[in-house]
Structure 1
Amino acid sequence: PEPKKNFYRRFIYEPFPVESSLHEQLTDHLNAEIVARTIKTREEAIDYVTWTYFFRRLTANPAYYDQQAALLETTDFDKQRDMLANYIERLMNKCLDELIRSGCIELKEGAVVQDGGPPSAAVDATKLGRTASLYYLGHRTV
């Protein structure tokens, strides 16, 4: 049928972006990185996310990931940057809070000083967190 031909023709010849789903599984990824000691502080967790494909897509299509970000298209660059930083911080706090509630990590406020800066919150994996990471279990499972 003709409608299907048009659909497939458009599908083949018109590029469409592939969006990230990391934000849906970010809590378990963070747990694995904390267990591996790649992430030792809340700030390192935020920095970690900025190096991912998720962050690239977030900056390119913020409305897909955050409803508040739909306003970004009408704001200036500084406001966009602040709104994205706010979204990343909210997302990170949510993920770390979930890991704390599930007993996978412990947060130690003011425990780490990096490069002479202000004290930062250190994150340490617990036995449950290490078990979840070792056996590829979700943080809710343990």
Structure 2
Amino acid sequence: MCLSSKKYFFLKFLYEPLSIESRLDHCLHDHFNAEIIPKTIENKQDTVDYLTWTLICRRMTQNPNYYNLQDVSHRHLSDHLSKLFENILNDLE
């Protein structure tokens, strides 16, 4: 089904897991700014709700060490996202 030269390349992806992590935390300033202007995000809770629909929130629970989280409980995750928003909001001001 593929070129023989690519066979081992594709087999590697089939048998060796590759975790894909979100890099959204490195460009959240732009995302938040784009959502604050049309008032999609108006407060801290809107921000947490917005982030819960992203890959970063899903990956934080699956790989907390990558995101420097100590705990993956709902409360801790919500606090972490709130702090993240506060830091970004301070940077944007």
TM bin (shorter chain): 0.7 to 0.9
Secondary structure of the residue aligned to 1:63 is coil
**Aligned partner of 1:41: which letter?**
N
Task: Give the alignment's TM-score, normalised by structure 2.
Answer: 0.77
Deviations 1:5-42 (A, max 9, x none): xxx55445222121000011111100001112211222
Q: Which sections of structure 2, spanning at least 5 residues, go unmatched?
A: 1-8
Distance 1:44 1:14 in 2: 38
Spell out structure 1 runs of 4+ moving beyond 3 A: 8-12
Partner of 1:44: 46
Partner of 1:53: 55
Deviations 1:28-71 (A, max 9, x none): 100001112211222211211111111111111111112xx2x4
| Bigger Cα Rg | 1
Q: CA RMSD in A?
A: 2.0
Q: Contact between 2:48 and 2:78, CA under 8 Å: does it hold in 1?
A: no
Partner of 1:81: 74
The answer to whether 1:33 aligns with 2:35 is yes
Q: Contact between 2:22 and 2:55, CA under 8 Å: does it hold in 1?
A: yes
Instruction: Label 1:94 to 1:60 Cα distance change in 2 as closer, same or farther (>3 A).
Output: same
**Aligned partner of 1:96: which letter?**
L
CA-CA distance at 1:81 after TM superposition: 2.4
Which deviates more, 56-65 or 8-17? 8-17
1:21 to 4, 23, 47: 23
Task: Give the alignment's TM-score, normalised by structure 1.
Answer: 0.53
- Name the one with the larger strand percent: 1
